[in-house]
Amino acid sequence: MSSLSKTDILKMAEENNVKFIRMQFTDILGIVKNVAITVQQLEDALDNKIMFDGSSVDGFTRIQESDMYLRPDYDTFTLFPWRPDEGGTVARLICDVYTPEGKPFSGGPRNVLKKALEEAEEMGFEMNVGPEPEFFLFQLDENGEATTITHDNGGYFDLGPVDKGENARRNIVLALEEMGFEVEASHHEVAPGQHEIDFKYAPALRTADNIATFKFVTKSIAHQHGLHATFMPKPIFGENGSGMHVHQSLFKNGENVFYDGDDRLGLSKTAYHYIGGILKHARAIAAITNPSINSYKRLVPGYEAPVYVAWSSANRSALIRIPAARGNGTRLELRNPDPTANPYLAIAVMLKAGLDGIKNEIEPPEEVLENIYEMTADRKEKLQIESLPSNINEAVDILAGDELIKATLGKHVYEHFVIAKKAEWDAYRTQVTNWELEQYLTTF
């Protein structure tokens, strides 16, 4: 049930001088789409009467079946903390996409997550998720185009004058808090120009909505500061890339079911089985959590990002880490996702993999306390430690063999996702890069 009613929203719009409303949804690749309406159309929008042309959105529908309806989630009504040049306030509503027959559209990523959450609910679980998205702030050139020139030489957690992106980051955090986000921490990251903003954990659907809005707000406010914010995982060779570690836990009747005070690590059987499920499906999930060609330039040894399918209570080279908090703070942290992932699809596939572990009581292997990057190939083989895929093409091929993850996405999303990724790989594979010219042009 929504905590906001139609009357509440109309009243808030009037009291805050709302002139425009952005009806937001994401396409299969996670790009936020907007249908902008005026406040005069708000009542119709709240009655699910706003239509859009689904054939104009990549991977949605063909021309002959293009009409789609936007059904706003009343609880996502919020005001953007800036005003357009025309004056008045702009509000946002996140929407589910429906067919003209009144059915949830199977190609809508938010619908995919809701379906996965229904299964968790049937098992008595509520999923909480806390993401840690990283991003770079780059300077613009004289034409207003993005560069890869950073505006600072700050380092991890740096404070003060050296961190010139601090003003931008502070304004991003203030804007998010005005919109109702609970920001746990924000700091400079390891690489020049790199920042991280961590959200307090929240129910999975709300978190996915927040990630989508967060990217939009970050880019808008960076632009106001004359900077370009990018969530590209590896924009600078030789520097750490941007990840989006995802903390996750399951609750039942307000209690964290991952916690067991009698266990050596304070973890319950449910937690171990959830870890087992994620590790079982990790290589297939990578296509969704790391969906770009550039994602795999981040997932290489030596730069903090995980490469190996293992878990640990203390080891940051493992794919899954168990942070120290226990009791209701007990959770696991999946460390390979990056912020190019569609948050709805990524959370859906993580959850379904974990639930598969719980249903089938999948025991995880022993935790790995050694630094996996320093292990020999023989040692890794002995411990049965597999690697994540090395590129998006390999990841998509592994996804094709995982029936559970394919079923989670549904036929429509899976097929359109694969078509898009294969086309991307082909375009990339046939490019002649500067690296090749530098290596071979004068050598041969």
The answer to whether the beta carbons of residues 205 and 113 sit under 8 Å apart is yes
Q: What pLDDT score does 202 carry?
A: 93
- What are the φ/ψ torsions at residue 167 (nearest 5 degrees)? -60, -45
Q: Is 159 exposed, middle or buried (0-12, 13-18, 19+ CB in 10 A)?
A: exposed
The answer on whether 201 is annotated among ligand-binding residues is yes
Helices marked H in 49-192 — which ranges? 109-122, 166-178
Residue 214 Cα to chain centre, angstroms: 10
The answer on whether 248 is annotated among ligand-binding residues is yes
Contact residues for 439 (Cβ-Cβ < 8 A; gap 6+)? none
In CATH, the number for domain 6-105 is 3.10.20.70
For residue 350, the surrounding DSSP H or E stretch is helix 343-359
Give helix 166-178 / helix 204-224 axis angle, nearest 10°: 140
- pLDDT over 90 at 111, yes or no: yes
Instruction: Check residues 352 and 222 and name the one with the higher pLDDT.
Output: 352
Name the CATH topology of 114-435. Answer: Creatine Kinase; Chain A, domain 2 (3.30.590)
**For residue 343, what pLDDT band results from cuts at 50, 70 and 90?**
very high
The answer on whether 132 is annotated among ligand-binding residues is yes
What average pLDDT does this structure show over 24-53?
90
Q: What pLDDT score does 375 carry?
A: 83
The model's pTM: 0.93
Tokens 């292997």 label which residue? 365
The answer on whether 62 is annotated among ligand-binding residues is no
Residues 400 and 402: their CA atoms lie apart, in Å, by: 6
Residues 367 and 312: their CA atoms lie apart, in Å, by: 5
DSSP state of 267: B
- pLDDT over 90 at 67, yes or no: no
Residue in 365, 200, 382 with CA at minimum distance from that of residue 282? 365
117-148 per-position pLDDT tens digit? 999 999 999 999 999 999 999 888 888 888 88
The answer to which of 1-5, 49-53, 61-65, 96-100 has the lowest mean pLDDT is 61-65
Enzyme catalytic residues: 53, 132, 134, 189, 196, 245, 316, 333, 335
The answer on whether 118 is annotated among ligand-binding residues is no
- pLDDT over 60 at 438, yes or no: yes
Choose the most confident range, by mean pLDDT, from 58-62, 163-167, 228-232. 228-232
Q: What pLDDT score does 152 carry?
A: 60
The answer on whether 184 is annotated among ligand-binding residues is yes
235-258 per-position pLDDT tens digit? 988 888 899 999 999 999 999 999
What average pLDDT does this structure show over 261-285?
96
Residues 147 and 141: their CA atoms lie apart, in Å, by: 6
**For residue 3, what pLDDT band results from cuts at 50, 70 and 90?**
confident
Residues 232 and 340: their CA atoms lie apart, in Å, by: 7
Residues 245 and 260: their CA atoms lie apart, in Å, by: 24
Q: What pLDDT score does 314 carry?
A: 80
User: What does the mean pLDDT of the chain come to?
Assistant: 89
Q: What pLDDT score does 156 carry?
A: 47
- Give domain limits for the chain: 6-105, 114-435
Residues 26 and 95: their CA atoms lie apart, in Å, by: 9
